[in-house]
Structure 1
C-alpha cells in the first residue's frame, strides 16, 4: 500500500476527503478521483485500476456518503441519519399502546354498563331480600 501515499505523505482517501471538504459540495466520482490523481502528481498505474481502487476506498470509508447518481459527499454534511429500526419499534410501541387503550376503554364500558343495570350498588343491598340469608340470620339470632 506504499503506492497510496503521495509525495506529501497523504494517502488517496484522505486527499479525497480534503478535496470534498474544500469543494463544500458533492462531486461526481470521476471528477473526485481525477482531482485525487492530479493532487498526487499523476500515476504510473492504469487509470481504470486507480478509479477502482480509490472508489473502493471511498466506499469503505464512513466519512463519505453516496448522494446518488454517482455523486459523493461527506457524511458530516448530511443531516443525522435516522435509525429506521428504532422508528419502526417506536411506531409499533405506539400502535400497541393504542390497542391497549382501546381494549381498556372497551372493558371499562362493559364494566360501566353492568354497574348501571339492575345490580345494586351497595353491598348491604345485595343481602336484603335474599330468603336464604334471612333464614341464616334467624338461626344465628335463636342460638
Structure 2
C-alpha cells in the first residue's frame, strides 16, 4: 500500500514515523529529513505551533526505530535497502557535506595543529626555566642589599 492509496482519515490516524516509512519506501531513495518532515506535516495537517515539537519527536523516533538509517548530511534511508554487513557507521558517510564545508574543516584542523605545536613549545620552554629557579639572581641581589644596609647602620 502507498501513501496515495490512503484516505485522509487513515493518514491522520497514522503516526508520523509510519508515514515517513511509507514515503521513503514509495520513493525508494534516501531523503533529506526536513523535506520529508514537511511532507509528513502537510499530510497530517500539523499546526504550525506544534511543528518544532513534532519535528524533534520524529527525529528521535527515526534514530530509535530499527527500520531507518542515518546516511549523513541529514539524509535518511531504510535499512532494508543496504547489505546486512554494512554497519550504521559505514552508512553514515553515504551523503557527504559539500566540498566547501570540508575544506573549511581542514583549515580549522590545520589551525588547531599549529596551536597544539605552539602550546607544546611553550610547555617545553617552561620546563627549561624551572631548572634555574634555584639560582635566581634577584634573590641574591636583595640579600646583598640587605647586608649593605646593615653594615651602613653600624
TM-score of the superposed pair, with normalisation by structure 2: 0.46
Structure with max Cα Rg: 1
Structure with the higher fraction of residues in helix conformation: 2
TM-score of the superposed pair, with normalisation by structure 1: 0.50
